[in-house]
Amino acid sequence: VNSKPHMITLDYTIQVPQAALQKLPEVSKFRLSYYPHRLESFSQLLMDAFGGKMEHRVYGDFKTYVPGQNQAPCYFIHICKRSA
C-alpha cells in the first residue's frame, strides 16, 4: 500500500480425508504471516541473530528454493534451527 511493505496474514484450513481412521483431527488450521523482504539481507539478519550458529533452509511457495531458479516465488518460508 502506497509503495510500503505491510504484514499479510492468511488463515488456512485443511480438511484431512479419513483422518478419523488414524485418530487425527479432521480439520487442521494454521496461520502464515508474510512480510515483504529481500532474501539475502533477511537471511543475513537471521544469521546475525543466531550468531552464525544455525541451520537455515528456505522454501519458496512451499517448495525448496534454489537461488536463480526460473520462476521467482511469491513468498518465502525460512526454517531456522539453532546449531551447537
CATH number reported for the structural domain that contains residue 27 in this entry: 3.40.50.150
Does residue 2 sit within a domain?
no
* pLDDT band for position 49 (cuts 50, 70, 90): very high
- Of 57, 36, 35, residue with least CA distance to 46: 57
Domain assignment present for 42: yes
* Structural domain includes residue 61: yes
Q: Answer whether residue 1 is part of any domain.
A: no
pTM over 0.75? The answer is: no
3 vs 48: which has the higher pLDDT:
48
Domain residues for the domain of 42 are: 8-82
**Number of domains present in the structure of the chain:** 1
Considering the domain boundaries, does residue 24 fall inside one? yes
Lowest-pLDDT range, 19-23, 31-35, 80-84?
19-23
